[in-house]
Amino acid sequence: MRLRLLDVILVVVVLAVLGLMAYTPRPPERRPDGRTIVTYWEKWTKFEGEAIKHVVERFNAIPGNTIYVKLMTVSDIQDKVKVASAGGDPPDVTGLYNFNVASFADQNALVCLDDLCREHGLNEGHYIPVYWQMCQHRGHTWALPTTPATVALHVNRKMLRSAGLPDRFPETIAELDEWAERLTVVRVRVNGKERECSWKEFEGLSGGAGKSDKVEFVDFVQMGFLPTEPGWFNWGLCAWFGGKLMDPERGITADDPGDLAALEWFCSYAEKYGLNRIDRFQGGFGNFSSPENAFFNGKIAMELQGVWLANFIAQYAPKGFDWDAGPFPAVKPTKDPITEADADVICIPAGSRHPREAFQFIAYLQSQEGMELLCREQWKHSPLSKVSAAFYASHPNKRIKLFYDLAWSPNVMTRPRIGVWEEYEKVLTTAYDNAWQRIETPRQALAVVQRHMTRRYAAELVRLERLGARP
């Protein structure tokens, strides 16, 4: 019995020591030249990883710099930062996604940056408003933006010309749908012989115009537009229909009339062109990052995509690929364009050993020099309110100014800054999938989202109230 008791005491002592080691501040890690080492975790790889590597190298080479940033590429970064923080050994600074800010802040997993921002002169006026707002939660600053993005309608100009369409962009959703139909070409079998024809001609043939003809649909040759290609931006489609995801008074508004109109429009393509036909056609699409991308190889003429697409066009589209980008049209003509905005962010995890030194690097990244180097090499626009003429002159995306200007629009759509957003987006994605597959009607699908997220958001508010926080 005594031996067992001693064993238990020993285990308790060891665990206590390990706990103290994990949570007791350790002395600063230094290089042989005396500089303090700041560990930086970032999620980017390939050309994006090379871009931040160049920024870090430039910072480390600043004369008289007493800080050395050690960059580490980390996959599944949001989960690994949480685990490292819980274990008492987080990085000093980390990149995250803007939708992580609210949930991390609510879990006390981030260092509030209010004081550090003031010391370095970083405030709302330094940024395009939408990107500053993404980093705010409960009245405080928890992160700062790095590479931002807005989305626009990308078009294959050669395909538009071949269809006899004007050299401009559709101005309404109805006009987009009309252009999509004119750009859609199908392969049919008429009396056993295959040929290609326009969608309108196919509708005439299959509608019985030639009653003695046997008409069979074979496949799509090309489609003008598909809301499921790539289908990455469904969470904010309601913006183009006057909808919203949150309301200050009501809270969750997944069943807003504009949200319903967006989902009904989304599903109208499956109803018009045939769900099984579309599924078969999309089954032949290649990877996004390849020459078999449906937009690059002429299977899709128009698509909603982000600022980054120009980079992939340069890598994978045929030489001389004639593309352009313009604002995605709304259901009603609007003076100020509508877009979705997103951004990666940089922040300091709670428990960082060198928060002040970490922020010195963050401040450099937020400078015009650091930010323009990063965003140019990642083919993004800058989140800063001031941009140099050299940035535009040297930028590889010929439409970069469009994406920058879109971010300034008063009609810009962003993800709600709530701690349960990631769950909201998941159930909203399920609703879109179920409605597209005709498992539920659009109204039924959004009603499920509304009920589920109303309960979840109410529970989140109760939890925050217990913590003495406010949303």
The CATH number linked to 398 is: 3.40.190.10
Q: Same structural domain for residues 120 and 191? A: no
Q: Residues 187, 134: one domain?
A: no
Helices then strands (H, E): number in the chain?
18, 15
pLDDT of residue 154: 98
The distance from CA 250 to its chain's CA centroid, rounded to whole angstroms, is 26
Residues in the chain: 471
Residue 393 domain flag? yes
Tell me, yes or no, whether 379 lies in a domain: yes
What pLDDT is attached to residue 466? 80
Q: Is residue 201 part of a domain?
A: yes
Q: Indicate whether 248 belongs to any domain.
A: no
Start-to-end C-alpha separation, the chain: 54
Yes or no: say if 296 and 317 are a contact pair by the CB < 8 Å rule. Answer: yes
Asked if residue 400 and residue 364 are part of one domain, the reply reads yes
Q: Are 269 and 194 in contact (CB under 8 A)?
A: no
Q: Of 360, 383, 413, at which residue does a domain stop?
A: 413
Residues 6 or more apart in contact with residue 197 via CB below 8 angstroms:
185, 186, 188, 205
If one counts every other C-beta atom within 10 angstroms of the C-beta of residue 21, the result is 11
pLDDT given for residue 130 in this prediction: 98
What integer pLDDT is reported at residue 465 of this predicted model? 82
Which of 413, 436, 466 lies at the terminal end of a domain, its last residue?
Answer: 413
Assess whether 118 and 216 both reside in one domain.
Answer: no
> Which 3 state secondary structure label does DSSP give 245?
coil
Same domain for 59 and 102: yes
Exposed/middle/buried for 194, CB within 10 Å: 0-12, 13-18, 19+?
Answer: exposed
On whether the CB atoms of residues 303 and 133 are closer than 8 A, the answer is no
Q: What is the CA radius of gyration of the chain?
A: 26
Domain containing residue 132: 27-148+342-413
Q: Say if 423 falls within a structural domain.
A: no
Give 379's Cβ-side CA count (13 Å radius). Answer: 17
Q: What is the 3-state secondary structure (H, E, C) of 263-281?
A: HHHHHHHHHHHCHHHHHHH
Do 134 and 72 have their domain in common? yes
| 130 and 190 co-located in one domain | no
Q: Say whether both 31 and 143 belong to one domain.
A: yes
Which of 398, 413, 428 is the C-terminal boundary of a domain?
Answer: 413
| Residue 284: both structure tokens together | 């032949």
C-alpha distances in Å from residue 279, one per residue of 220, 226, 228, 276, 437: 11, 11, 10, 5, 10
Identify the pLDDT of residue 32.
64
Three-state DSSP state, 299: coil
In a domain, 290, yes or no: no
Q: Note whether 36 and 133 are same-domain residues.
A: yes
Domain count, the chain: 2
Is 335 a domain residue?
Answer: no
In this structure, the number of other CB atoms found within 10 A of the CB of residue 28 comes to 12
Indicate whether 118 and 218 sit together in one domain. Answer: no
List beta partners, residue 137.
Answer: 140
pTM above 0.85, yes or no: yes
Contact 366, 127 (CB under 8 A): no
Would you state the pLDDT for residue 25?
46
Per-residue pLDDT tens, the chain, 471 aa: give them.
444 444 444 434 333 433 434 444 455 576 668 899 999 999 999 999 999 999 999 999 999 999 999 999 999 999 999 999 888 999 999 999 999 999 999 989 999 999 999 999 999 999 999 999 999 998 999 999 999 999 999 999 999 999 999 999 999 999 999 999 999 999 999 988 999 999 999 998 876 545 567 889 999 999 999 999 999 999 999 999 999 999 988 899 999 999 999 999 999 999 999 999 999 999 999 999 999 999 999 999 999 999 999 999 999 999 999 999 999 999 999 999 999 999 999 999 999 999 999 999 999 999 999 999 999 999 999 999 999 999 999 999 999 999 999 999 999 999 999 989 999 999 999 999 999 999 999 999 999 999 999 999 999 999 888 876 655
| 177 and 137 part of one domain | no
Whether residue 178 sits in one domain with residue 143: no
Any domain includes 429? no
